[in-house]
Amino acid sequence: MSTENKNIVRRLYDEVWNKRKLDLVAELISPSHALNDPFVSGSQVGPEMYRRRILELTASFPDLRFTLDDLIAEKEKVVASWVLSATHKGDFMNIPATGKKVSVEGITIHFIRDGKILDSNARWDAVGLLRQLGALPAPNRNKETASKG
């Protein structure tokens, strides 16, 4: 079962996100799927909302790509460790396009049952993304810390 579940998650990133095969969303995402993501507010339930999230992000970052570093599966859970890389070419959270290339690390825990992803709990460096886009200042380092680094 863990190999099957890993393949479902691998297809989500490789085919849906990276190749933009949005017709596969309904095949992989459960109708009751709940997305828990630090950048998402409000209800994010079901394949249509997931598809909409992909369209929103790829409008801001048209070349968005996930690279899977690791997939760990146990029973009905698959943990995906990933790196998102993209170029900011459209408005994102009221931040006008900067043309900057960004790279963000994250982990998503997917809960899978009967061949569909029921829940996805994402944790990623949202603050790092905002810093790379210039929306937040870089961390303030004092002179003593800076001289040691």
pLDDT digits (tens, 9 = 90+) for 72-112: 999 999 999 999 999 999 999 899 999 999 999 999 999 99
Of 107, 59, 100, 50, which is closest to residue 84 (Cα–Cα)? 107
| 145 domain residue, yes or no | no
| 32 domain residue, yes or no | yes
List the CATH number of the domain containing 84.
3.10.450.50
Residue 18 vs residues 27, 30, 147: alpha-carbon distances, Å: 16, 20, 41
Residues 2-48 have pLDDT tens digits of 899 999 999 999 999 999 999 999 999 999 998 888 777 666 788 99
| 10 domain residue, yes or no | yes
Structural domain boundaries, residue 20: 2-138
Rounded distance, CA 26 to CA 33, Å? Answer: 10
| 143 domain residue, yes or no | no
**Total domain count for the chain?**
1
116-126 mean pLDDT: 93
- At residue 42, the pLDDT reads 65
Structure pTM? 0.86
67-72 mean pLDDT: 96
